[in-house]
Structure 1
Amino acid sequence: MQSSLFASAEPQRFMLQGGELTLYPQWVSERKACSLFRWLEKSLAWEQSVIQIYGRPVVIPRLNAWYGDPGCNYQYSGYRLPLNAWLDPLSEIRTRLHDELGVETNSVLANLYRDGQDSVGWHSDDEPELGQNPVIASLSLGGERRFSFRHRRDKTMPPLHLTLTPGSLLVMSGAVQHNWHHCLPKSRKVTAPRINLTYRKVVTV
């Protein structure tokens, strides 16, 4: 990937109680987002993880893959994702996040939603290994999907719904993960696959 992969766009900021979202609508150009999607779809070490929910094994409705520095182990819902070594396109995005936005990361979780029936339920990325108030940068590629937020405790707080387009980057910062849940709901209208890359910093000892 060369520097021409990337495009610039004016960010949109959303102030949430206890946190902030910044959306860059076209952080990667549409044309290059398409080529990057095709490369990732065929090149990453995709798996369909089995997690524990209330003590029962559940196959997640999506594929995922985990890449990062040595020692950056990560688990959720009782399952530790296999750690893969960085690939050049993933590393180059990581470098740009640092150089342009000051976002420091040492790992990335890739998710492949094969169609609108693949999804992720309400959750927060608040695992202990992510530390206090983690900054998470999520790059969307492929099909357009709706991404929603709701407050974890205050049910009177109105939810926030965002449309994530190919090439858009959403940066979640502050105490978003401790105060808000987010999800990518199922949709019968969606047929196109989508990949998102969620860059994060695992706290290693």
Structure 2
Amino acid sequence: MQHLIDADHHNILPSHGEALLFPDFFSPQESNLYFDYFKSDVSWIQEPDFGLDKKRMQQRLTAFFGEQDLEYSAAGLTIKAKSWTSPLLNIKEKLEAKFEASFNVCLLNYYRDGKDYMNWHRDNEHAIGAYPVIVSVSFGSTRIFQFRDYKEKIPVVSLELDHGSVLLMKMQTQEHWEHRVPKTTALVGPRINLTFKLILKKE
């Protein structure tokens, strides 16, 4: 069973979590400037993907920024944060003010075309706590983003993430729901995603 959601500030998930979509969070002019900056000025890399018990390359490009000396580990890969850039700090401050949250890292994903994708997963790493607040920013071409119940695998909830939109995930979302950006055979241009999180520092 699949549901295509046209959600605006309403909870996308039917239960056990909260996900809110904010279309046009950034103006078209802001979004165009940010997209051009991140596409051209970020040093993108293609990291190994250690899923399925064999080493292969991720089907997208990534970059990781944040506070000094912070690291992020997921799916068998540990990456160290590069220092914040001014555009990232500007975005971070706007998100923190809107959502009354704090973020100290940002993972960037560059989907070059419809063949680039992200598999089903949960952002449930121990380092970000039990009920993290996660904000995902989209610049560039519209892509489908999907949720599904982690245990039952249904329902599948689909929504479109447009240029300048922001998706907020919080409460029990990462415990009960997994998400992905699926492949598509449609002709789509590049999309850049910024995912802001708070890594809990060790005492």
TM-score when scaled to structure 1?
0.91
Which runs of at least 4 in structure 1 moved beyond 6 Å after TM superposition?
A: none
Give the equivalent residue in structure 1 for 2:142.
144
Give the equivalent residue in structure 1 for 2:3.
none
Q: Is the 8 A contact 1:65 1:81 kept in 2?
A: no
Secondary structure of the equivalent of 2:98? helix
Taking the TM superposition and a 5 Å limit, the aligned residue runs for 1:21-170 are: 21-155=19-153, 157-170=154-167
- Identical counterparts, % of pairs: 31
Q: Is the 8 A contact 1:71 1:204 kept in 2?
A: no
Aligned-partner residue type, residue 144 of structure 1: T
Secondary structure of the equivalent of 2:200? coil
In structure 1, C-alpha distance between the alignment counterparts of 2:162 and 2:39, rounded to whole Å: 17
After the TM superposition, which of the residue ranges 14-23 and 114-123 deviates more from structure 2?
A: 14-23
In structure 2, C-alpha distance between the alignment counterparts of 1:190 and 1:122, rounded to whole Å: 22
In structure 2, C-alpha distance between the alignment counterparts of 1:54 and 1:187, rounded to whole Å: 22
The answer to whether 1:200 aligns with 2:190 is no
| Deviation per residue, 1:57-108 (Å, 9 max, x gap) | 1100000000001232102111112320000010111111111221211110
Q: Is the 8 A contact 2:69 2:80 kept in 1?
A: no
RMSD: 1.3
In structure 1, C-alpha distance between the alignment counterparts of 2:56 and 2:15, rounded to whole Å: 32
Secondary structure of the equivalent of 2:68? coil
| Deviation per residue, 1:92-149 (Å, 9 max, x gap) | 1111111122121111000000000000010011111111111110000000000000
Structure 1 stretches lacking a partner, 5+ long = 1-9
Structure 2 stretches lacking a partner, 5+ long = 1-7
Q: Is the 8 A contact 2:70 2:80 kept in 1?
A: no
TM-score when scaled to structure 2?
0.92
1:154/1:55 Cα in 2 relative to 1: closer, same or farther (>3 Å)? closer
In structure 2, C-alpha distance between the alignment counterparts of 1:81 and 1:45, rounded to whole Å: 14
In structure 2, C-alpha distance between the alignment counterparts of 1:115 and 1:96, rounded to whole Å: 28
Q: Is the 8 A contact 1:12 1:23 kept in 2?
A: yes
Q: Is the 8 A contact 1:16 1:176 kept in 2?
A: no
